[in-house]
Amino acid sequence: MKKTLNIMFAIVCAIALVTAVQAQAETIKTRIGDLSFTHDFANGYPTDATVKKLFDEMDFQRAVQAYIWSIPIVSMAQWQYAHNQQLGAKNGQIMFVESYDDKVGGLTYNATTPYVIPFIDLADGPWVIVMPEGEVRGAAHDMWQIGITKMTEPGKYLFVGPGQDVPDSAKNEGYRIFQSPTMTVMLGIRLMSPDKDVRMDILKKIAIYPYAERKDPKPRGYITPNGKPWLAAHPRGMEYWERLADVLNREPIAERDRFFMAMLKELGIEKGKPFRPTERQKEILTDATLVGEAMAKANDFAKRMEDAHYVDGSHWDFATVAYPDQREEYYDQLDERAAWLYEAVTNDPAMHGQRTGEGQIYMAAYKDKDGDWLDGGVNYALHVPPDAPAEAFWSITLYDVDTRCLIINKQKIADRSSRMDLIKNTDGSVDIFMGPDAPKGKEKNWIPTVAGKAWFPYFRLYSPKKAFLDRTWVLPDIEKSE
C-alpha cells in the first residue's frame, strides 16, 4: 500500500512539474508578430519557429537599411552601366548630352545646359584630363558621390587610383594630382556658354587619356546618346542588388562601411565572391527593395533635416541637404545623402549656393501651397517675383517621381528659364504654368504635365545674389490654378 502511495505521489509530482514547466512557456506580442519561448521571455529559449522568424526579420531589416546606405554607389554604378552597356561609351570617353531626348535618362538633369560626363576606370593606372579655357563648371567624384576636386580651372589634372603610386615623372610635369578613393572616377562638367559654337569648341578641347600615353596622347573624344534609350535611375527588384554586388567587388571597402558589409554577408553579397542568392535571400531582398525605396521616398519627399529649411511656411526645400564630404562632427550623413542622391547625382561645393553664395542653388517642392502632393492631372501656377537674384540665369525644371528624370510629355518640354523668351508681367515678374492644360495666350510660359503621373520641380539659381541669401527675395509656393 505504501509503495502504491509513493508511486501515485511521484506521478502527481511529475504531472505538477510538467504543468509548471508548461505554464512557464511564454509567447509575447511584438510589432513583427508573436514570439514564443520555452520558458518565460527572460529565462526561455526562442522556439525553432521563432528563431526562423527572428533571423528572417533580422536579414530583412538589414537589407532595408543596406538599401538606404547603398543609394549613392548603386546610383553611380547604374549610371556607369547605362553609359557603357546601353549607350556604348568606352573607358574615359565623354558622353555629351544636350537635347531633351538624350537627357531623359539622367537623374534630375538640368534641361538648360549640356552635360559632359566621362567615367574613368583607373584599374590599369592613372589618367590625364586636360581642361581648356572657357565657361566651364565641373568636378570629379568618386563612386560614393563624394567630390574629389572641382575642375573649373584650365590645365592638366592627373587622377591616380587607390593603392597606386603617383608616378615620379608626373610630379614635375605641371599636373594637378589627385588620388581617388575609388577605382572609378566620374567627371561632371557643364558648358555654360549660351553660344553653341563656343560650347562645341570647348568640348573638342577637353582631352582624356591614360597617363601612359602622355608622349603620344590619343584623347578618347565624345559620343552622344543619339536617341538611344537609357536610364540612370536606381534599378528595382533583384537588379538593384546585382548592381550593388558588382560595384562592391570592383571598388575598395571604406572603413566606415565594414559593418554594412557584415550585414550583406548573410544576404549573399560578399566581396570577392559571386552573387548567387538562395531563394530565401531573393525573397528577402526583393521585399527589401520595396520597403527600402518607400523609406527613401519618405526621407526625400518629406524631408525632416534642418538644413532643408528655406523660409517658414514654405513648401520649397533646399534639395541638397548633405555636405559634399557627407560628414558631420560625430557621424556620417546617412539620411541626408540618401535624400539627395535618391533623386539627384553628385554633390560638390558648387551645388550649395545657399551656404557659400557661389555656384548654384537647388530648390525642390513636392507639395503645393495647400499642402497637397503635386499631381500631373492638376493645373498649377508659380509666380516668380521680379529681379530674380541670379547673375547667370534661373530655371524651373519638372521631373517624374517614378524615375526622377525629366518629365516626359508629347511636347518634349520640361523646363522654362530666364534664358528663354518668356511672357513677363508689367513689373518684370514671370508666371510659370504647369499642368495638363495650356494657359490660353501664355503657352510660352507653360510646362505640360501628364495626368496619372506625379512630378516635382527644381528651381535653380545660377550664381545667386545677395537678395536670395538674405531672403529679401522669396520664391512663393506653387498654387493650383484654373
431-467 per-position pLDDT tens digit: 999 999 999 999 999 999 999 999 999 999 999 999 9
Distance between CA atoms of 280 and 176, rounded to whole angstroms? 50
- Per-residue pLDDT, 349: 87
According to the model, what pLDDT value does residue 56 have? 98
Alpha-carbon distance of 214 to 281, in angstroms, equals 48
Other C-beta atoms lying within 10 Å of the C-beta of residue 444? 12
Asked if the model's pLDDT at residue 102 lies above 50, the reply is: yes
Q: What share of the chain is helix, strand, coil (3-state, %, to 5)?
A: 35, 25, 45
Average pLDDT over residues 62-82: 98
Q: What pLDDT score was predicted for residue 16? A: 47
Whether pLDDT at 9 is above 70: no
Of 9-23, 151-165, 331-345, which range is least confident? Answer: 9-23
pLDDT above 90: residue 4: no
Looking at residue 96, the DSSP 8-state letter turns out to be E
Alpha-carbon dihedral of residues 66, 323, 302, 285, nearest 10 degrees? Answer: -10
Cell of 476: 512663393
Q: Residue 400 contacts by C-beta under 8 Å, 6 or more apart in sequence?
A: 406, 407, 408, 453, 454, 455
Identify the three-state secondary structure at position 301.
Answer: helix
Q: 229 Cβ partners below 8 Å, 6+ apart?
A: 86, 105
Question: Can you tell me the distance from the alpha carbon of 104 to that of 399, in angstroms, rounded to the nearest whole number?
Answer: 9
**What are the beta bridge partners of residue 461?**
361, 394
How do residues 47-60 score in pLDDT, each as one tens digit?
999 999 999 999 99
- Judge residue 6's burial from the number of C-beta atoms within 10 Å of its C-beta, 0-12 exposed, 13-18 middle, 19 or more buried: exposed
The answer to whether 433 and 481 have CB atoms below 8 angstroms apart is: yes
Alpha carbon of 378 to those of 4, 372, 451: distances in Å?
A: 89, 11, 8
Cβ atoms of 388 and 461 within 8 Å: the answer is yes
If phi > 0 it is left, if psi is from -120 to 50 it is alpha, else beta; for residue 145 that is left
Contact at 8 Å (CB) between 241 and 277? yes
b/e burial code for range 85-104 (CB count within 10 A of at least 16 → b): eebebebbbbbbbbeebbbb
pLDDT the model gives residue 3 = 58
The whole-number average pLDDT for the span 66-91 is 98
| DSSP assignment string, 97-113 | E-SHHHHTTSTT--SSS
> 15: how many CB neighbours lie within 10 A of its CB?
10
Of the candidates 114, 119, 82, 109, the one whose C-alpha atom is nearest the C-alpha of residue 97 is: 114
| Whole-number Cα distances in Å, 443 to 401, 414, 417, 448, 477 | 24, 13, 14, 10, 21
Segment 120-136 shows an average pLDDT of 95
Tell me the average pLDDT across 92-113.
94
Q: What angle do CA 226, 414, 146 make, to 5 degrees?
A: 75
Q: Is 424 helix (H, G, I), strand (E, B) or coil?
A: strand
pLDDT tens across 285-328, in order? 999 999 999 999 999 999 999 899 999 999 999 999 899 999 99
The residue type at 480: K
Name all domains of the chain by residue range, CATH numbers in brackets: 2-46 (no CATH), 60-81+233-298 (1.10.3360.10), 88-223 (2.60.40.1610), 302-480 (2.60.120.600)
Distance CA 337, CA 130 (A): 30
Is residue 470's pLDDT more than 60? yes
The whole-number average pLDDT for the span 213-233 is 96
For residue 6, what pLDDT is reported? 58
Which residue in this structure is represented by grid cell 520664391?
475
**pLDDT of amino acid 322:** 93
Cβ density class 206-245: b for 16+ within 10 Å, e for less: bbbbbbeebeeeebbbbbebeeeebbbbbbeeeebbbbbb
What pLDDT does residue 196 have? 92
Amino acid in the structure at residue 201: D
Query: Using an 8 Å Cβ cutoff, are 110 and 460 in contact?
Result: yes
pLDDT digit string, tens, across residues 394-414? 999 999 999 999 999 999 999
pLDDT band at 8 (very low <50, low <70, confident <90, very high): low
For residue 94, pLDDT over 80 is answered with yes
Q: Which residues contact 333 (CB under 8 A, 6 or more apart)?
A: 321, 322, 323, 326, 327
Instruction: Tell me the pairing of strands 94-97 and 222-223.
Output: parallel
Chain center to CA of 54: 31
DSSP three-state, residue 145: coil
pLDDT in tens, 317-365: 999 989 999 999 999 999 999 999 999 999 988 889 998 898 899 999 9
Element (H, E) at 399: strand 390-400
Distance of CA 209 to the CA centre of its chain: 28
Q: Which three cell numbers stand for residue 272?
A: 570577392
Compute the distance between CA of residue 403 and CA of residue 342 in angstroms, rounded to an integer.
Answer: 10
3-class secondary-structure state, position 258: helix
